[in-house]
Amino acid sequence: MRDLYTDRHDHLAAYVRAVPCPPDTVGVIVGYGGQIVALELFDAPDMLQTCWPRLIHAAALDALAHDPGVAIPLPRAVRTLHRPQQAACQRFPSPGVGDDLRLAGEGAAGAALLHDGVVVHAVLHRVAEQA
């Protein structure tokens, strides 16, 4: 994996320059191929700002293997934000501080870190529904 990042360093840096982190933003929805594939949320804009280059690198590498498709309509993005509300949630003590939340259902799976009653970081990925 490291070789992939090293080989594509200039390409990935160009993505980060082309897609700067919007100010006062706490999350990002990633999509390609006309589908939403991931959602990342943070408790504060500076946390997203810190993670932004890595998030853009990961999204860019994933997108290389897919047809970009069409833009994701805003109503679909908003519905994605509500998916965790319908997901089953399990809570476990975190190895560090707080609690780990595991989410599954409604075509999505993810995790969140809860500390002092606040979700510090959450990630949600699209998963294929099983028949």
For residue range 57-107, what is the model confidence (pLDDT) as tens digits?
A: 888 888 777 777 778 888 888 877 777 777 788 999 999 899 999 988 877
Question: Quick check: is 38 in a domain?
Answer: yes
pLDDT at site 129: 59
Question: Quick check: is 10 in a domain?
Answer: yes
SS3 (DSSP) at 63: helix
Question: Quick check: is 69 in a domain?
Answer: yes
Mean pLDDT of 29-58: 90
Cα atoms in the 13 Å half-sphere on the side-chain side of 55: 22
Residue 107: count other Cβ atoms within 10 Å of its Cβ: 15
| 81 against 46, higher pLDDT | 46
Question: Quick check: is 41 in a domain?
Answer: yes
Residue with tokens 């943070």: 42
Looking at the DSSP bridge assignments, the partners of residue 88 are 104
**Quick check: 126 and 35 in contact, CB under 8 A?**
yes
* Domain range for 119: 2-126
Query: The pTM is what?
Result: 0.80
Question: Quick check: is 131 in a domain?
Answer: no
- Output the CA torsion 106→66→62→119 (10° steps): -20
pLDDT at site 5: 59
Tally the domains of the chain. 1
- The mean pLDDT of the chain is 85
